Structure 1
Amino acid sequence: MPSIVRGRVWLPGDPGFHAARRPWNLAIEQPVRAVVEAADADDISTLVRHARSAGLAITTQPNGHGATGRTDGAILLRTRRLDGVSLDPAARRARLGAGVSSGRLQAAAASHSLTGLPGSSPVVSVTGVALGGGLSWFGRAHGWVADSVTAFDIVDANGDQRTVSAGTDPDLFWALRGAGGDFAIVTSLHLQLHPAPHLYGGRTLWTAEHAPAVMDAYRQITATAPDELTVWLDLLHFPGADPMVALDTTYLGHEDEARDLLVPVDHLPPPLSDNRRVRSVTELGPITAEPTDPGAGLARGELLTAWDDAAVKTLLADPIAPLLSVQLRHLGGAFTRPSDSPHGSLTEPYALYLFGLPTDPATAEAVANRQRGLAATLPTSGRKPFTFLNPTETVADAFTEEVLARLRDIKQDHDPHHVFRANFPVR
């Protein structure tokens, strides 16, 4: 294999092999036959033809944020070097290589008063997020990240390079807008950008004793929030620190408008800190300050059908420990509109994200038990966003049986030999 591609190849026993195969989540063991860091799309075509002729599978990950460990015997393809960014500001469009991070897109778009649809982390790949549908800070205004994708450049299961859109291959285009990388290898995507001449936001933080009052303010704000306003609530308990509660905010508009909408926050007790201010669209990562280096973690996501008095009482009844964070994201807005994607419209008004650190087996079990306990007592809908799935879950936790049947038919049509193995396969 080293002789058939121009990019780097690591085989078992090679120096650096274990580091090369490591996923972002260090709690996941990722056994692979080899690791290939492609130099370009031609490398990927060559690799696909080799894998198909040898009866091997390819799992594609820029960095491995969505890794599940379902890689035994597969070739792990890294697409980090596919990092080209091309913008057409007048048309508000971008073409991004598969390895381009959200932060890089935001940096390129900001100088034109434009934005992509970034999530909470600047280091995830835009392509990876779009392939999973994608929840964004600006999703209430513009819907799923995948809704802004206009085309994908792919390598198919024959090793051929082509561009897929709603006009050229509507079934494959639909599947790629939210059901992962089980159907083709995406080498770049074509993305609609959005105007963002003004942005206000930041984090306001209190001690946990004020959580009931902060929750009341949160419910007031989200009950009438316009689509341009997104507020997330976080219960936090960092190792060695006292429990805290935070409101994380972004508003696509002027500061004075945002402050009018956030008046309930001004009536709360004085916070420990408040860094809300006018921001560039390049400054979203620091709001939640998620780690930008790999680490171990256990996560569970849920969609909530309501956030009523009973749900508030349940969440605040006990400390969140041993969880590190419990995050409540306000959805609604454009998420509720029709979407030509596997998940379709997102009618649940809130998403819940539960995260803990598996520092040892006993703590890992305690974290998982606490996550299950909270999920069982809150008004969950029974389905999850694809990008919120964890390694214990499958695509059946994200999609309906009707959608799964269509996805499996598309898989059979486009990859009957199972050359591609996604983190969450549809079969």
Structure 2
Amino acid sequence: MSLQSVVRGRVWLPGDEGFDGVRRPWNLAVEQPVAAVVEAADAADVVALVRHAAATGVSIATQPSGHGASGRTDGTILLRTGKLDHIVVDGRTARIGAGVRSGELQAAAASHGLTGLPGSSPVVSVTGVALGGGLSWFGRAFGWVADSVVAFDVVDASGTLRRVTGESDPDLFWALRGGGGDYAIVVGLEVALRAAPSVVGGRMLWDAGQTRAVADAFRSLVPDAPDELTAWLELVHFPGAEPMVAVDTTFLGDEETARKLLAPLDALPAPMVDSRRTMAVSELGSITAEPTDPSPGMGRAELLTSLDDALDTLLAEPIAPLMAVQVRHLGGALARESDSPHGALAEPFLAYLFGPPTPAVAARQRELAEALPTSGRKPVTFLNPEESLSDALPPEAIARLRRIKADRDPQGVFRANFSA
């Protein structure tokens, strides 16, 4: 039976026009070999595809938008769930399809004075972020993105569509809240939304001559920052341009209070850019202005145990050939108990090192990672293709995930970007 006869959605096979384009992940530096690509028209297509895969001994790799790809897809059917894009806001809950992107959920929530837990990019899928635990602008206030998931709509390895909650299936619910997508295909989520009557966000950007002063101001403001305030320090050096330093912030509250909390930054020489303002939660993606089209890159993340030592290391020399080094303030609700594979996030900061995919960049990332005060862990959503779930999750969580995988998908119908 051909794939075209199994699903109503579109199918691409090797040699078909457009095949090479639709199989590519978001990070164009990652090679992603697949046997076919299927764009599901609806959840019924996913059910039919899973039953077909189980009967034929083929695995399915699911990617709503292609973010976080590892390239471990050889011989699989790549399932795109971008067409599953419904959003229904009911009270303080949203029921969304697996293909809904963060910015789309934010736009729907904003009209109700509510917010989801968005990260820096509006084009990543909410499902993909939640399956990896998920860090967001409001993680300090509300914890992991996955902590806000109330229920999953999934297709299991038998091809059965069902709803999974902490009461109906505690093991699978736990695994899906940060253990990756290796245990079922998620076709929809029910997520809790949060009140956001006023949000202040923006970027302050200075030339590199102010780097030490900006870093010291960042260092001074984060220890007493309330959970509603998030601040990220960013060292930037784009090819052909002068290096710069930025602080990106969000605050769940009014602008007057935000400026008082950020007074150490306002005491510095006037920045080249200061975009801080009261904004709709649908505009949060504009703060860092990350690319919204696929592009090649090489990233490495490290969770930090000390800010002072980290800043001393990062400021000792220029970051080139890296294009950006970001230091995120974590803590708050992220450090509290969480019924998820990662659990509480003890490390108070995250460093993300990014540049073009070259050996020189990889070498610089290794050099900095070895010099930084790291815990040896990193969030699942920040894993790169050379890493595994064991680099992100504690050993006891890995052992439990392996038991769940063996029990729920013994034939290996599902193949996630990263597996335990």
Under a length normalisation based on structure 2, what TM-score does the superposition of the two structures give? Answer: 0.99
Q: Which residue of 1 aligns with 2:23?
A: 21
Q: Which residue of 2 aligns with 1:289?
A: 289
Task: Give the AA of the match of 1:275.
Answer: S
Q: Secondary structure at the match of 1:366?
A: helix
Deviations 1:372-402 (A, max 9, x none): 1111001000111000100000011011221
Deviations 1:52-101 (A, max 9, x none): 11000000001111111100000000000000001112xx0001100000
Displacement of 1:425 in angstroms is 1.3
Tell which deviates more after alignment, 71-80 or 263-272: 263-272
Q: Secondary structure at the match of 2:307?
A: coil
Displacement of 1:311 in angstroms is 2.5
Displacement of 1:415 in angstroms is 0.3
Displacement of 1:303 in angstroms is 0.3
Q: Secondary structure at the match of 1:224?
A: coil
Deviations 1:403-422 (A, max 9, x none): 11100000011000000000
Displacement of 1:269 in angstroms is 1.3
Paired with 1:70 and 1:119, the residues of 2 have a C-alpha distance of 25
Task: Give the AA of the match of 1:356.
Answer: G
Q: Which residue of 1 aligns with 2:387?
A: 393
Q: How many residues align?
A: 418
Paired with 1:244 and 1:194, the residues of 2 have a C-alpha distance of 34
Task: Give the AA of the match of 1:58.
Answer: I
Paired with 2:204 and 2:258, the residues of 1 have a C-alpha distance of 14
* 2:418 maps to 1:416: no
Alignment of 1:14-413 (within 5 A): 14-89=16-91, 92-308=92-308, 310-358=309-357, 364-413=358-407
Q: Which residue of 2 aligns with 1:10?
A: 12
Percentage of identical aligned residues: 67
Q: Which residue of 2 aligns with 1:361?
A: none
Paired with 2:393 and 2:108, the residues of 1 have a C-alpha distance of 34
Deviations 1:235-279 (A, max 9, x none): 000121100000001000001110110110111111111111111
Task: Give the AA of the match of 1:75.
Answer: I
Structure 1 gaps of 5+ residues are 359-363
Paired with 2:159 and 2:402, the residues of 1 have a C-alpha distance of 20
Deviations 1:354-377 (A, max 9, x none): 10012xxxxx10001111111100
Q: Secondary structure at the match of 1:28?
A: coil
Deviations 1:180-217 (A, max 9, x none): 11000000000000000001110000011111100110
Runs of 4+, deviation exceeding 4 Å = none
Cα RMSD of the aligned pairs, angstroms, is 0.6
Paired with 2:109 and 2:193, the residues of 1 have a C-alpha distance of 8
Deviations 1:307-338 (A, max 9, x none): 12x32221101100000100000000000110
Displacement of 1:20 in angstroms is 1.0
Paired with 2:201 and 2:5, the residues of 1 have a C-alpha distance of 50
Task: Give the AA of the match of 1:74.
Answer: T
Paired with 2:17 and 2:405, the residues of 1 have a C-alpha distance of 36
Paired with 2:240 and 2:285, the residues of 1 have a C-alpha distance of 23
Paired with 1:307 and 1:297, the residues of 2 have a C-alpha distance of 26
Task: Give the AA of the match of 2:315.
Answer: L
CA contact (8 A) 2:157 2:413 kept: yes
Paired with 2:237 and 2:98, the residues of 1 have a C-alpha distance of 35
Task: Give the AA of the match of 2:334.
Answer: F
Paired with 2:201 and 2:271, the residues of 1 have a C-alpha distance of 16
Under a length normalisation based on structure 1, what TM-score does the superposition of the two structures give? Answer: 0.97
Q: Secondary structure at the match of 2:5?
A: coil
